[in-house]
């Protein structure tokens, strides 16, 4: 089942994000097989201020565990996190079956 994990950073936390990024990337390497796609949310000036990941896991409990295990959580980087079930409908300009 697909879930979208959306994270918004606390204001003025780019330095924290960058300093803790190696641990975050190391974690993502351990779960990369469950990531469908992901990327950065950007502020108007182009700096990262959050992220979106679509993950493929069994259920909401697994999605929550996936999100909670990110080292960024322990650093207090995020102002808000949402985890929502997602049903893909389009991919690469085409309808999905």
Give the separation between CA 85 and CA 21, rounded to whole angstroms: 26
- Model confidence pLDDT, tens digit, residues 30-58: 999 999 999 999 999 999 999 999 999 99
Model pLDDT, residue 27:
97
What does the pLDDT look like over 54-74, one tens digit per residue? 999 999 999 999 999 999 999
| pTM of the model as a whole | 0.93
Average pLDDT rounded to a whole number, residues 17-36: 97
């Amino acid at each position: 089942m697909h879930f979208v994990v959306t994270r918004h950073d606390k204001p003025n936390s780019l330095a924290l994000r960058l300093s803790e990024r190696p641990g975050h990337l190391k974690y993502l390497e351990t779960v990369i097989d469950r990531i469908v796609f992901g990327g950065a949310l950007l502020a108007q000036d182009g700096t990262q201020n959050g992220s979106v990941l679509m993950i493929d896991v069994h259920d909401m409990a697994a999605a929550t565990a996936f999100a909670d295990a990110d080292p960024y959580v322990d650093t207090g980087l995020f102002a808000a996190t949402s985890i929502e079930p997602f049903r893909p409908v389009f991919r690469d300009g085409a309808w999905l079956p």
